[in-house]
Structure 1
């Protein structure tokens, strides 16, 4: 969604990245979340490995640990799964 993996892979392969926008359905779902919920969702679900700065290789420490301070719904039985809000 942010092009991080695409950019890292292209840099490794020595080619230009091919950025593509996310689909309308994903944008619609993300659009229903508050800014805080989006932040927690991306930290907990989109980062499948340590997020790092491609140019330096430095890990973004703020994204290493899951964010459990925000509730948000998942699609399985629409149950709140994380957080204390």
Structure 2
């Protein structure tokens, strides 16, 4: 995952998981605490009327219990300007 795409003050809400606050906690969750043991995200359609983006995605992989997962899901993002970016 490219963590440089996210704000240092990221706040991430996932169904069934506690909210992650800040890039360090987001990185720790993404690389260690997620329910999927290994796998890949695949991007889909993007919808962005302004500074809010909805992304249709799919996660394919293996869960920690050994079962396979291939659920479609949506991600919602608020775009923001950060110092030194355009």
Q: TM-score range by the shorter chain?
A: under 0.3
Please tell me whether Structure 1 or Structure 2 has the larger radius of gyration of its CA atoms.
Answer: 1
Q: Whose helix fraction is larger, Structure 1's or Structure 2's? A: 1
Q: Whose strand fraction is larger, Structure 1's or Structure 2's? A: 2
TM-score, length-normalised on structure 2? 0.22
TM-score, length-normalised on structure 1? 0.22
